């Protein structure tokens, strides 16, 4: 396929580009930032990689660059609440709608959007109101800050676009903290990471999820689906049950689930069932 990757210069975007090229796809990379070294000197056949700088808050820019593509990975975004006022919200909401609407206009039916575990109130929220662990896609989304809100709205935009254009298939991938290796997410004091539940996702594993969302031919899903994309273990040397007892004992463990060993606080079984995705760490 010819795949557009927005935010191609970011840590996950770069890995998506490299993985897509390794699988034989052609890539159109789009970013507002300078091209990183990892993409500058790639030895690929002519025509298989094109890199563009563009501001995707401008609808026509995205429409022009997506023309001729078969699929889109949308990673371009502000990755934090920023000023906690308007910057992250307005940037992310406008870009995600522009990409979805441009894809619809151009007949591009396979889209993978970068959402976030922060649709659930996590690290940047004042109030943590978890209803159960492990968190799954049925848990209510109640952010109180602009970044998480922008990702909730992006998911609602995907619901909207597939109602209008039922041939489209959109995956919203709720990424945890993306790191190169599990060790990069470890902290000596587990309290430092209690508000994001010691979650992480290895960058290449995240890239796998984006490409599976585009290439999946199983027929197990259609329309718009939300998926948690996190490691199946916690980034802590402390056992998960002990972390729960120490910091979150008032939150019940969902019936039929457990936090034995170092099991994560996020349930990624939907991604495994519908996409065939499981997290992998480098050897």
* Average pLDDT for runs of 10 along the chain of length 283: 97 96 96 84 84 96 98 97 96 98 98 98 93 98 97 98 98 97 94 96 98 96 98 97 98 97 98 96 66
CATH topology of domain 2-125+136-179+201-232+267-275: Rossmann fold (3.40.50)
Within the chain, residue ranges assigned H as helices are 11-22, 37-40, 59-66, 87-106, 146-164, 203-215, 240-247, 269-275
pTM score of the predicted model:
0.96
**How big is the chain by its Cα radius of gyration, in Å?**
18
Domain ranges of the chain: 2-125+136-179+201-232+267-275
Whose tokens are 């109640």? That residue is 142
């Amino acid at each position: 396929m010819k795949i557009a990757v927005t935010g191609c210069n970011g840590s996950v975007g770069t890995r998506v580009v490299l993985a897509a090229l390794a699988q034989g796809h052609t890539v159109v990379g789009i970013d507002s930032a300078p091209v990183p070294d990892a993409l500058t000197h790639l030895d690929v056949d002519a025509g298989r990689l094109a890199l563009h700088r563009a501001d995707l808050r401008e609808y026509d820019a995205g429409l022009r660059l997506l023309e001729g593509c078969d699929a889109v990975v949308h990673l371009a975004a502000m990755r934090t609440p920023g000023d906690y006022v308007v910057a992250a919200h307005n940037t992310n909401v406008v870009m995600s709608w522009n990409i979805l609407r441009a894809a619809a206009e151009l007949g591009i039916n396979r889209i993978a959007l970068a959402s976030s575990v922060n649709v659930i109130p996590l690290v940047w929220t004042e109030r943590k109101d978890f209803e159960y662990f492990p968190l799954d896609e049925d848990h209510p989304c109640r952010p109180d800050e602009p970044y998480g809100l922008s990702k909730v709205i992006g998911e609602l935009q995907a619901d909207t676009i597939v109602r209008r254009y039922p041939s489209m298939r959109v995956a919203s991938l709720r990424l945890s903290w993306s790191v190169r290796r599990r060790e990069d997410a470890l902290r000596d004091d587990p309290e430092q990471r209690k508000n994001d539940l010691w979650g992480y996702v290895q960058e290449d594993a995240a890239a796998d999820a984006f490409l599976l969302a585009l290439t999946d031919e199983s027929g197990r899903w259609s329309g718009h689906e939300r998926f948690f994309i996190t490691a199946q273990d916690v980034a802590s040397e402390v056992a998960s049950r002990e972390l729960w007892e120490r910091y979150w004992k008032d939150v019940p463990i969902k019936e039929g689930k457990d936090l034995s060993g170092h099991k994560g606080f996020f349930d990624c079984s939907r991604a495994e069932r519908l996409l065939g995705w499981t997290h992998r760490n480098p050897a």
